[in-house]
Structure 1
Amino acid sequence: MTAQLNAYIHSEDAKTQAAFYAQALGGEIVSTMTYGQIPGTPEAMKDKVMHMALRAAGGNLLFLSDSVGLGGPDSSGTPRGLRFIALALSYGDEAEARQAFEKLAEGGEVKYPFELQPWGAYYGEIEDRFGVNWQIVKQ
């Protein structure tokens, strides 16, 4: 099984944080999607970053997003605050991505089901039984 592991930072201000990392690590923002690109998004959220990719430090991809609505407690009741880190696994094969999603979900909590998204990729989120957040995507 082949997969790429990327850090995914949920931030209070993803644009500012990404610009800082690009400057500090040497890199560039290669893609940005805002919530405003999704039909039906409330006006107050339209400028918030849904997904941003930063290529830095010799070609590594770092993903960022504004932490809209992520301030509640985790599955154990521990306050999460406004920031947390998720591990993002990107697959080229849907079956492999689905298998990883299902295995990581065992004993954990599915936060967002693995399914086809409006932007054309399959995507799902899990908090595993150890409290680690995973984002699984099939590009």
Structure 2
Amino acid sequence: MGTLKPYLISTNAREQADFYLNSLGGKIVSLTTHEEAMGTQSELKDKVMHMCLNLAGDNYIFMADAIEPSSPGTDIYLSIDYNNIAEASEAFRKLAEGGKVNYPFELQPFGIYLGEVRDKYGVQWMITSETKTDAT
């Protein structure tokens, strides 16, 4: 049985990681630069070769700095389901700062709260919460 671990390539992995930690809560589990891993002494030496983030509970994503020019894809979404509507709403609001709301976070006809946002780094997020799990 495998475990899915999303891996984001970024133009500034440290900055993007800080944004996600502020928006979703969590911590940096590990961070390795090209210099630390490979002894690289070029312009790549301070670039992130591998970073592991623990986000929004028990979720993990990996990140690295792009070595070649890249543009984030728009056909992939990262989805987080919260047990608390207020928590989900707050995460959605923070991810939307500087980004673009595709669909506002609100109660949907099929019975859950759902919002879709493209963050300021171009990553698409789906934030959900079921109404029956909220204590309010």
- Report the TM-score when normalising by structure 2: 0.50
Say which one has the larger Rg: 2
> What is the TM-score normalised by the length of structure 1?
0.49
